[in-house]
Structure formats: C-alpha cells, structure tokens
Amino acid sequence: MEAGDVLLPWQAPVIERALALRQAEQLPHAVMIDLADRGDATVLIHQLAQALLCHTPREHTPCGACETCRLLRAGTCGDFGLVTLETDDKTKKLSKNIKIDQIRDLIYQLNLTRQHGALKIAAIYPAERMNTASANALLKTLEEPAAGVLLLLVTHNRGRIPVTVRSRCQQWSVPLPDRALADAWLEGQGIGRDVAETYLDYARGDPLLAADLAHRGYAELVQEFKRDFAQFMRGELAVAELASKLNQSDADLVRRLIDMILRAYSFQTSGVSADGDSQQTVDRARAQALQRLYGRAGSQLATDENNLDFQLQLEDVLISIKQILSRRPN
C-alpha cells in the first residue's frame, strides 16, 4: 500500500498540533498517534520529526537546507531514531514483532547526548507489534523520561497496546478523512468518482485501502464471488470448486469476501438491515450461529499463505455457512 513520499492530507493536522505545542512549550514526552487508515505511516513520522527538528522551519514546513534537515534526509541524524519491523536477511520476510533488542537499542540511543538541537525524537511503528517483552522494556523509559526526548508511538490498533504503556502517552488520533477529501485524494490516484464510492464503501471509508482494493480489481472479484456463491447455495457448484477458485486470489481478499457474506447474512437474520432499520423476520438461532461462525472463520482463515490447508479451512467455513443458511427457521 504505497502512496509515495507525500504526506496524506488528513494526517497534516498532526504536524500542526505538534508544532503548536512546541511553540507553547507544552510538547509532552510521549505521544501515541492512533491512525484510522491502514496506510504506511513512515512518511508522516519522518515529516513530523523533520518539522520539529529543523532549525529554520517556515510555516510548518522544514527548510530542507539546514544541517538537521540534510542529516535527516540522509538517514544519519543522531537526534532521530525509528524502530520498525525488520526484514529477515535469510527469509526476506518482514518480522511479525518489534523485538526487545530493537527497543533496548532505541533507549540506549535516547540516553546519548543530543547532537544538534534541544530535542531528540524516538519513534516506534507499528507500536501494536511490540511483544510483551518489548513493551515492558519501554515502560521504564515512559515512567522516567529523559529531558528533551519525545517518544512517538504510532499505531493502527491502539487496543493491542498494553494499558500500562497507553496510559503514559498523550493520545492523538488521526481519523479517516470525510468523503469529499477521500474522493479528491482517490481522484489523484487515478480512481474516478464513479468507482470511488463503491470502493470507499468496501474499505469502510479508508481511502488507502480503497485505492489498494481498486488497483487489485476487488469489485470484479465481489461480483464473481456473489455469482459463484449463489450457485454453491443452489447446489450447482461443489464446495471444493468454489474454494479452489477463491484460493487463486490473495488470502486477504478471500478473508474480505467471506467477511462480507457473513456480515450481510448476520444483519439479515438478526432483524436489522444494513442501514439500521429493523425488519420483520428475526431468526435468533440462525443469527447466533452466524455470529459464532464469524468469530471462528476469522481465526480459521488467519494465514497469509494460499496453500492446501487454507483451502481446506475455506471449504469448512463455506460448508458451515451453507448449513446455517439451509436450516429451517424455528
């Protein structure tokens, strides 16, 4: 989900807020930035650091010419450190967690003398990927912060971060943009207004996810899946065939399709339509069975690999959906 090195317009208020606080000499020692969108936040982190560390900023914009700006661009500024998921040298895969050694190195760096200015910035992203040991290692620094240090914990999922860590940070959130801004941004990505609405609905308002889904042709996949699923329900398409067809798409898209169908039927059977109106037909037993399956399917399909096991799990979930929906109402 790359959007180049341009700051996303709905993230810009974060930088303004930080600069205003610094001007008022009220910059906290730890901030948790909670992003509602799923995009890569490293551009935001770098621009925020540069805006705060630049010697001669103009109107919220770093000058780009001072020593700090030059060092930051070269990635050698000793006043800024970013800890993130690392790529394994051998497997070339991205690690699942931020490891304790990375946090320890960051803390060690923080305790060094400042190099150029009155502020040092240490960022952790995605902060929800710290394991328990990493979070514990960070706690002491949060409890006894060094002077002139700003700790930035940037996350897409604040709820996964231990309360002990969360409660010691000032909470900032970056909500999703409104539809007009989202439409304009998508248009800049080459996604016309005619399809932007459809994809923003699929992505529940997240323009980055909408752009990603659009570039991967998700809408066509939905249409195809709806046709295939109807055939499967009528007994015209075997479960193995449907699962094998689905298995040709990326696992995250398949999870999205299953999620969509389960949500749609859950709404229907619980007597609430998607727009919140209550309906006549309520089938509590069926609604509960769908709810249970919704939870179970999430963990059954929680893999990034399209392999035989994924296909078998998929078949199991599809059979379960069919069984629940074919059951006679009580």
The smaller minimum CB distance to Zn ion, of residues 54 and 210, is found at 54
Secondary structure of residue 177 in the 3-state scheme: coil
Sheet holding 80-83, edge to edge: 80-83, 120-124, 149-155, 30-35, 170-174
CA dihedral 42, 45, 51, 55 (to 10 degrees): -90
The smaller minimum CB distance to Zn ion, of residues 56 and 167, is found at 56
The smaller minimum CB distance to Zn ion, of residues 35 and 44, is found at 44
The smaller minimum CB distance to Zn ion, of residues 71 and 272, is found at 71
At its nearest, how many Å lie between Zn ion and the CB of residue 207? 30
> Mind giving me the DSSP string for 28-70?
-SEEEEEESS-S--HHHHHHHHHHHH-SS-BTTB--S-SHHHH
- Stretch touching Zn ion by CB under 5 A, among 5-13, 59-67, 213-221, 228-236: 59-67
Strands (E), the chain: 30-35, 80-83, 120-124, 149-155, 170-174
- Stretch touching Zn ion by CB under 5 A, among 47-55, 73-81, 84-92, 288-296: 47-55
Stretch 102-161 residues interacting with Zn ion (CB under 5 A): none
- Stretch touching Zn ion by CB under 5 A, among 29-37, 64-72, 83-91, 197-205: 64-72
Q: Which two tokens stand for residue 15?
A: 């930088």
62 binds Zn ion (CB under 5 A): yes
Q: Which two tokens stand for residue 215?
A: 């570039």
- Stretch touching Zn ion by CB under 5 A, among 61-69, 92-100, 145-153, 204-212: 61-69
- Stretch touching Zn ion by CB under 5 A, among 38-46, 65-73, 76-84, 314-322: 65-73
107 φ, ψ (degrees, to nearest 5): -65, -40
At its nearest, how many Å lie between Zn ion and the CB of residue 200? 37
The residue type of 200 is L
63 binds Zn ion (CB under 5 A): yes
72 binds Zn ion (CB under 5 A): no
Residues 6+ apart with CB under 8 A from 62: 47, 50, 51, 53, 54, 69
* Inter-residue contact 122 to 94 (CB < 8 Å): no
The smaller minimum CB distance to Zn ion, of residues 33 and 69, is found at 69
How far is CA 153 from its chain centroid? 14
The smaller minimum CB distance to Zn ion, of residues 62 and 177, is found at 62
At its nearest, how many Å lie between Zn ion and the CB of residue 2? 26
Closest to 199 (Cα-Cα) out of 213, 188, 187: 213
At its nearest, how many Å lie between Zn ion and the CB of residue 252? 39
The smaller minimum CB distance to Zn ion, of residues 58 and 92, is found at 58
How many residues in the shown chain lie near Zn ion by CB under 5 A? Answer: 5
Q: How far is CA 105 from CA 77, 81, 132, 220, 253, in A?
A: 15, 10, 17, 47, 37
- Stretch touching Zn ion by CB under 5 A, among 50-58, 189-197, 199-207, 279-287: 50-58
Interface with Zn ion (CB under 5 A): 54, 62-63, 66, 69
